[in-house]
Amino acid sequence: MGDTGVRRDEEFSEFFTSRFDWARRTAYALCGDWSEAEELAQNAFVKAYAKWPSIRRETAEGYVRTIVTRLFLDSRRRGRERERPVADLPEHGVGGGFSDPDARLHAALRQVAPKQRAALVLRFVHDLSIEQTAAELGCSVGNVKSQTARGLATLREAYGEPVNSERDR
């Protein structure tokens, strides 16, 4: 491998080391499962590595975020939401209620359709504009607006709040 290849690998290694946890958290916000989030993040970095010579360093984070989001949506289109078999059931059931607000949010997010969930995560977790979200999802601005409104309505229902479509516009 020449100096260029070594330099490329070093740059990618540095990027991977600094951004993997961020990508995994992004994936978790989408899927709500740490094992699947790890797999989505790893696959995103494999794809990013293959394109690394053509990725501008200042846009690399956005590129990985787009890959994570699209991998998540692709897995849901194929009906790949996985159930994980376990050898033994726990002796005690899970306690009722939600003591952890994040657990309540993730439980509510699991009720939101995948594309709506992606729109919500990109808009409100990553603070992207409607236009940026549309570009990441490969859809129209109007589609992002409707997906966001529907996703917010589902979240409000999950939280037991009245749904008011005027508030979502």
pLDDT digits 0-9 by tens, 92-112: 544 444 456 677 778 888 889
pLDDT for the residue 95: 45
> How many domains in the chain?
2
- Residue 78's alpha-carbon distances to 38, 115, 134, 164, in angstroms, are 19, 13, 22, 32
The one-letter code for the residue type at 90 is P
Asked if residue 13 has pLDDT above 90, the reply is yes
- The verdict on 110 and 144 lying in the same domain is yes
The residue range of the domain holding 68 is 1-80
**Cα(65)–Cα(126) distance, rounded to whole angstroms?**
9
pTM above 0.85, yes or no: no
Asked if residue 89 has pLDDT above 80, the reply is no
- The verdict on 28 and 62 lying in the same domain is yes
pLDDT digits 0-9 by tens, 128-160: 999 999 999 999 999 999 999 999 999 888 888
Q: In Å, how far from its chain's centre is CA 155?
A: 16
Among the candidates 26, 45, 80, a domain finishes at: 80
* Mean pLDDT, all residues of the chain: 85
Task: Give the percent of the chain with pLDDT over 70.
Answer: 80
Q: Judge whether 53 lies within some domain.
A: yes
- The verdict on 135 and 106 lying in the same domain is yes
pLDDT digits 0-9 by tens, 22-50: 999 999 999 989 999 999 999 999 999 99
- The verdict on 29 and 76 lying in the same domain is yes
Q: Judge whether 5 lies within some domain.
A: yes
Query: What CATH number corresponds to the domain at position 7?
Result: 1.10.1740
- The verdict on 111 and 150 lying in the same domain is yes
pLDDT for the residue 5: 75
Half-sphere exposure of 110 toward its Cβ, with a 13 Å CA cutoff?
Answer: 9
Q: Judge whether 110 lies within some domain.
A: yes
Tokens of 124: 């409100």
Asked if residue 126 has pLDDT above 80, the reply is yes
